[in-house]
Chain A
C-alpha cells in the first residue's frame, strides 16, 4: 500500500470516528453559537470611534478573525484527543505493530485535526454569508470578497492548532491536565506576542497582519483614527460610531508568504513530535517480585493464592444502604487524588490571594481564574466511568442514580465552593450578601453543567468547549448574560444568577434523566 493511501485511510478513519461522536455536535453547536454572537453584534471588531460598514470584506474579516482567535482556543481542546483515543481504545498498539512510521501517523492525526477544524471554519464562513444577507449595509453579496480572510487567516491558524494538538499529545508531560492548562497560557501568549513585539514571525493567528493592514487602510480613510483595534465584546452602541467603508485587504505575495509561516511552524511541530512520540510503548508493568517484600505474608506462588479459609469465611458484611457520606468522600478522593501536587499548590495560592486581596479586585480578576482552574477536574464528571470502563461494576452497585450520581455532583460542587470560599467570606464580611448568593449560584451551575454534558455526551470534550466559551465571554470578558460567576455587578442587575439557578435545576434533571436512560439501554 502506498504511503499516500495509508495516510488517506488513517485520516479517513479518524475523521469518521470523530464526526460520528455526539461531542462533534457540541463542536458544531459551539461554532454556531459563536457565529450567532457575531451575527447579533455581541462580538465584533471595534475601531474606537469608527466601525466598518457591514459589507462583504468587513464581515469576512470580522468572522475570520473570530474564528482564528476563538476556534484556535476551543478547537485545540476539541481535537486534542486523536492520539489519546488510539491509546485508550488499544487501536494505537495495533497500529504500532504495522509498518506505519511515527511521522506519517502523527501527520495523519494532524491532518485529521485540521479537517475537523476546517469544518468549523466553513460553518463560520456560512454564518458570515448569513450575516451579509441580513445585515448588509453596502455593496453586494460578494462571496469572493468575503472568503479570502477565511483562507489566508483562519485556515493556516487552524493547521497550526491541529499540529500543536498532536505535539501536546506526543509530549509525555503535556498529554494531560498540565498540557491543557499550559496551552491556555500559550494561547494568550500567541495572541499577545505578535501585538507586543510587532513581529509577524510569531503571528500564527494572523491577527497582527490583519490589524496592520486594517489600521493602514482606516488611517487613509480617517486621518484622526487613533489605531484602536479590539476583537471581542466592547460596550457602546454601534450607531454612536462613525461608519467607514473598508474595501478589504489586497493579499500580496508577501502577505500570503507570512500566512504560510504557520504551516511551516506546524510541520516543524509534527516533526519534533515524531521524535519524542512513544509509539504507544506502554510502561513496564510491575513485576510480581515487587509484591513480595521481605517479611510480608504474600503467599507462596505467583498469581492467585489457593483459597485459604478466608475465601470460605462468610463475612458478615454490613451494608450501609442509606448513608451518603462514604460515597461522597470516595468520589471526592477520586476526584482530587489524581491531580498533581502543583495543581493543589496553585489552587491554594489563588484561594489565599482571595482572602488577602481587595474583594472587588478578587471578584473581577481572581474569580475568573478560580472558576477555570478546576475545569479539567469537573470535565471528568460523569465521563470517567465510561472512559476507564468501570461503569459496569459501578452501576451494578446498589442505588447508582440515587447515591453515586448525587455524591459525584456534591463532590464537584464542594470543589467549586472550596475554590470561591475565601472570596465569599470576604464578601460576607463586607456585607455583600447578594454577590455571595450570586457566586454561590455559579458554583452550583458549573459542576451541574459538567455532569449533565458528561452524562449525555460520554466524554469531556463537550463540557470543555461549552465551558471555555462561556467562561471566556462571561467571567473573563464580563458579558452580563454569560457571567455565571457574577464577576461584575452588571450580571446581577441583568438577573443572570436567577437564570443560572434555573439552568442548574434543568441541567441537574438532565443529568439524572441521562443516567437513568443509560441504565435502561
Chain B
C-alpha cells in the first residue's frame, strides 16, 4: 500500500499556484499535513480525493495513476472535506444509506456498517432525527462516519477537528491512531496538537510547496539546540520580535519569557530548551523567509 505524489502542481491562473512541485511518498500510518492557511493543504487533499485535477505531475496509488484512473482509489477512499455538507432533510441513517449506495456498498453490508458507525460516533440515539437541526459537532461526526463507510484503505481528513469540542478532539485523534495500522491516513490541519500524538510522519507545506517531510522525531531533532528561553523586559518585546523568530510568549512578573528560534543564544540570559513539535513546525514554516540570525 503506497501513495506516491510526484512533482504535483496545481496552477489556477498564470501567477496563481495552489500547489507547486510537491513530491511525497506515503506508506501505512498517519501522515500529518501541516501548514498555515492557504498553504495548499486542501488543494492537495482534493487532488488525492480525485475531485480536483492537477495541472502537472502525477499521483499513484499502488502504482496506478489516480488522475487517469480515479476509480482505482475511489473504491478504497474515505474523504472528509474541510467544508462538509449534509442534506438537511435527511436523517443520519438516510444520509449514510445514500452515500453507501454512492460508494457501492451492498445493502446488508451498508446496514451493518451504518449501525456500527452511528454507535461509534455516538449518533445512534438521533439516527432518525433530521440533520438540519444538528449542531456543527454532530454534523462533523456524521462526516467522520461517512468517511469510514467503506472501510477505506486511504483515509483523507481535512481539518477534521473543526467543530469538535476538546474531548471529542482527543477521542477523534485516538480513533485515527487505532485505524491507521493497515491503512494510510492523511490528516490535514494547522493545529499542531492534532497531529502531535498520532502522526507517524509529518509534512509541512507553505505557499503551495512542501518544505519538509520527516518523522516527528526528525523534526524535533532538526530543531534541537535552536530553541531558547529568554526573559526580557516587556518594553523590549517589539524590538526583539523584529529581530528573532518567537514561538511563544509568557508574561511574568519580571518581564516577558520568550521561546526564541535562533542558531545561537539570542542574548544574555537566554538558555537552551528542548524543542516541542510546535517549535519545530514554526521553524519549518518560517525558515524560508525569516532572516534567521
Contacts and interface: CB of A to CB of B under 8 A. Distances in A.
Interface of A: 283-286, 288, 290-293, 296-299, 301-308, 310-321, 326-327, 329-330, 333-334, 337-338, 384, 388-400, 403-404, 519-521
B178 A311 contact: yes
Contact of A296 (B90, B104, B124): B124
B188 interface: no
Contact of A392 (B51, B105, B121, B134): B51
A315 B113 contact: yes
A235 B29 CA distance: 75
Contact of B103 (A291, A297, A304, A319): A319
Contacts of A311: 120, 148, 175, 178-179
B20 to A, nearest CB: 18
Interface in B97-155: 97-99, 101-107, 109, 112-113, 116, 119-126, 129, 132-135, 137-138, 141, 143-144, 146-148, 150-151
B65 interface: no
Contacts of A291: 122-126
Secondary structure of the A side of the interface? Answer: loop
Contact of B98 (A315, A319, A334): A334
Contacts of B85: 388-390
Contact of A326 (B83, B101, B164, B165): B101
B104 A320 contact: yes
A304 B86 contact: no
B61 to A, nearest CB: 13
26 contacts: A284-B133, A285-B133, A286-B134, A291-B126, A297-B124, A302-B122, A304-B164, A305-B122, A307-B120, A307-B174, A310-B120, A311-B148, A311-B178, A313-B116, A314-B151, A319-B103, A319-B104, A320-B105, A326-B101, A391-B51, A393-B80, A393-B146, A396-B77, A396-B79, A398-B71, A519-B53
A337 B79 CA distance: 26
Interface residues of B, number: 71
B129 A397 contact: no
Contacts of A397: 74, 99, 102-104
A308 B124 contact: no
Interface of B: 46, 49-53, 71, 74-75, 77, 79-81, 83-90, 94, 97-99, 101-107, 109, 112-113, 116, 119-126, 129, 132-135, 137-138, 141, 143-144, 146-148, 150-151, 164-165, 167-168, 171-172, 174-175, 178-179, 181-182
A463 B139 CA distance: 30
The listed residue with most B CB atoms (<10 A of its CB), out of A290, A304, A521, is A304
A315 B109 contact: yes
Contact of B168 (A303, A308, A337, A384): A303
A392 B46 contact: yes
A286 B129 contact: yes
Contacts of A302: 122, 165, 167-168
A389 B84 contact: yes
B83 A305 contact: no
A384 to B, nearest CB: 7
A389 B167 CA distance: 27
Given A327-B101, A396-B77, A315 B112 contact: yes
A318 B104 CA distance: 8
A414 B164 CA distance: 41
Contacts of A301: 122, 167
Given A286-B138, A314-B182, 6 more contacts: A296-B125, A304-B175, A305-B119, A313-B116, A388-B87, A521-B53
Contacts of B172: 304
Given A305-B121, A319-B75, A519-B51, A392 B133 contact: no
Contacts of A399: 71, 74, 104
B119 A303 contact: no
